[in-house]
Structure 1
Amino acid sequence: MSVPRTVAIIGKGRLGSVVLSTLAEAGFKTTVISRSPQNDEALPPNTDFKVVDYNSLDSLVAALSGQDVVVSTVNLLAVPQQKLIIDAAIKAGVERFIPSDFGSISTDLSAAHLLHNIQLVEIQNNLKSNEDLIEWTVFSIGAFTEFLVNFDIAFDWQNKSAEIWGDGGHRISTTSLLGTAKAIAAALKDPSVSKNRVLHVHELAVTQSQLLTLAQKFSPGTTWKIKTIDNPLEEMERLGKVAQQNPEPGNIYKFVRATLLSGRFQAFYEQVDNELLGLGLLTEDDLEAKFAAAFG
């Protein structure tokens, strides 16, 4: 595959919007593919917009014709729909597909059976089985840094409380939304090095204790309520059973959080492909600056 010129972004949520602006700034001709005509606001220059029916192969093929690459940023509930999008991409002559699979442990083989990974792995296997028809790249970026700082994962800012899993020292790979978008852009600038492979990247490796310490620093005079999960693996298994029996979003979220914090799976990447993509590492000062921006 030569360096692509046209890139279609499926979805325009938090990640999709950053990927769109980053790829446009990098010189790619971008197209937003969406089910809603309301998502055509605030598009970068030289960006097209197409409304599609995600359940229609013909609609998808028409929208993807002329595209070199598809970058999917759909949410977890829409992951299964990527099967039809891949079929359409192949039929439209798209050369590479980047699935919405930007998690921490979706490429850890020991975690393939987990409730929230099953459909992601199915898409991975679908792409591998079609390598003779379309190339693929999966980006394992750890947890999004913005989510660790701003959402109830490592601590509960609103209630000034935290559940510390074990000793809180389990390391977690993390990458910002912008860092993820830059990794995608770099991979497409040199597509031969990212063909049909998983790329592991992170900007930081953090611990729950480190994140809680920063949260406490930016809430001076506040007494935090701390609960320790003494047996992380047992608690993770319990939450997994609850999510399996009652797969409503709240239960699934608690289980996903447990798989990240328990230390059972490869949420920290010992080896990363940052150098391959020209992606630098952030410092503890950079992390503190993110807390200052959110809570200062």
Structure 2
Amino acid sequence: MVKIAVAGGSGPVAREIIDVLVSRGEGKHEVVVLSRKAPADGEALEGTTWVTVDYEDKSSLVKALQGVDTVLSFIAVHLDPDSSIAKRIIDAAVDAGVKRFAPSEWSAYVDSTTSLSKIDLLPWYAGKGVIRQYLADLNKDKKANFPPSPFVIEYTLFQVGAFADYLATPYQTAKYVEPNMTWWDMEKGRILAIDPPKETVTLTTVKDIANVVALAIEYKGEWPVIGGIHGTTVTSAEVIALGEKLRGKKFAVETLSADDLRAGVWKGSWLPILNMPSITEAERLQFSQFVTGACLLSNLEASWTASDEWNKLLPDYKFANLEEFLAEVWTGKP
């Protein structure tokens, strides 16, 4: 039995993965959900143990992590601006003797352990780079002097690109991850792109992400530091062609200037509004412009393309075919 602790386990992606872990059979995994507060009615997940912790108190975390083999972190990076919570979880995991750790990645790709080159256009993800460096430094001396183990704590950066499920908006294709409009609006047949539309993104389904993480936890070999989970990599032009094929109509492609976006100037006629209930309507509009512009620019740098380390380590796992996945959603829809 593998004992798994999930930090920030009440979030939607965490819950998708927890469901898969629990479904793999009684006695196979013991899942502990770490949270700042007790679960609300209906929030606790069947087959898990919910443990209330103080993320500001290392001793509380060390106690909660006793006997844990693997820690998966889903602590929101933008809500941990100095990365102190993420570092404290890592330090507590080391003190508790945890073998494996996965930090709060779950999105953008990076081409080396410490490089920020792929995420410097996404400032809300800056903490990811800090923690990549922290883990690399923590393990540096150990890596050079093993045996018995090449790690102080073994870790992988689960990097998945973007969720293919968002191209199904407004229809929900995952259990917990909700629809979210992007610059690719399949429902209304409209696309925002930088001229020419050559941005590149890896799209991976939430179901594949959850399944692969569960298989990675059971994997007996050494975890790769860069842990790409690769669905399908596409350009904006390819998304346009696929959308037109599935929706049976010509898409309206609105091209934006990269120079305008770099200058913080939004000239788009429409905007995907982010689901951010914690901020005001005016703030949501401004933030959505900033995020959409930054994502379009970062796509030019392939910031959202994922590598395929876990695909290679789990060759028997069959990933969803993007066209078939979207065809199932959109066939027969108005």
TM exceeding 0.5:
yes
99, 106, 110: which one aligns with 1:102: 106
- Tell me which residue corresponds to 1:76: 77
- Tell me which residue corresponds to 1:44: 46
Query: Which amino acid counterpart does residue 16 of structure 2 have in structure 1?
Result: V
Give the superposition deviation at 1:112: 4.7
Q: Cα distance 1:251–1:64, how it changes in 2: closer, same or farther (>3 A)?
A: farther
Contact 2:102 2:155 in 1 (8 A): yes
- Secondary structure of residue in 2 paired with 1:118: helix
Give the superposition deviation at 1:201: 2.0
Give the superposition deviation at 1:160: 5.4
The answer to whether structure 1 residue 113 and structure 2 residue 140 are counterparts is no
Q: Cα distance 1:270–1:252, how it changes in 2: closer, same or farther (>3 A)?
A: same
Give the superposition deviation at 1:153: 2.0
- Secondary structure of residue in 1 paired with 2:156: strand
The answer to whether structure 1 residue 175 and structure 2 residue 179 are counterparts is no
- Tell me which residue corresponds to 2:175: none
Cα deviation digits, residues 98-117 of structure 1 (max 9, x gap): 01111223456322534233
Q: Cα distance 1:174–1:256, how it changes in 2: closer, same or farther (>3 A)?
A: same
Matches within 5 A, 1:146-295: 146-150=165-169, 151-156=180-185, 161-195=190-224, 197-213=225-241, 215=243, 225-229=252-256, 231-232=257-258, 234-239=259-264, 249-261=287-299, 263-269=300-306, 272-278=309-315, 279-289=317-327, 291-292=329-330
- Tell me which residue corresponds to 1:243: none
Give the superposition deviation at 1:269: 4.5
Query: Which amino acid counterpart does residue 262 of structure 2 have in structure 1?
Result: E
Query: Which amino acid counterpart does residue 3 of structure 2 have in structure 1?
Result: T
- In terms of fraction of residues, the more helix-rich structure is 1
Contact 1:104 1:173 in 2 (8 A): no
Query: Which amino acid counterpart does residue 121 of structure 1 have in structure 2?
Result: G
Q: Cα distance 1:36–1:160, how it changes in 2: closer, same or farther (>3 A)?
A: farther
Cα deviation digits, residues 179-222 of structure 1 (max 9, x gap): 11222122221242315x1122212223323434555566667x
Q: TM-score, normalised by structure 1?
A: 0.81
Give the superposition deviation at 1:270: 6.4
Give the superposition deviation at 1:41: 2.7
Aligned residues: 283
Q: Cα distance 1:134–1:174, how it changes in 2: closer, same or farther (>3 A)?
A: same
- Secondary structure of residue in 2 paired with 1:179: helix
- Secondary structure of residue in 2 paired with 1:122: helix
**More moved, 6-15 vs 277-286:** 277-286
Whole-angstrom CA distance in 1 between matches of 2:110 and 2:124: 9
Give the superposition deviation at 1:284: 4.2
The answer to whether structure 1 residue 35 and structure 2 residue 33 are counterparts is no
- Tell me which residue corresponds to 2:19: 21
Contact 2:44 2:50 in 1 (8 A): no
- Secondary structure of residue in 2 paired with 1:30: strand
Whole-angstrom CA distance in 1 between matches of 2:252 and 2:310: 38
- Tell me which residue corresponds to 1:91: 95
Give the superposition deviation at 1:271: 5.3
Query: Which amino acid counterpart does residue 43 of structure 1 have in structure 2?
Result: L
- Secondary structure of residue in 2 paired with 1:38: coil
Whole-angstrom CA distance in 2 between matches of 1:210 and 1:42: 41
Q: Percent identity?
A: 22
- Secondary structure of residue in 1 paired with 2:131: helix
Q: Cα distance 1:253–1:74, how it changes in 2: closer, same or farther (>3 A)?
A: same
115, 133, 140: which one aligns with 1:125: 133
Contact 1:7 1:29 in 2 (8 A): yes
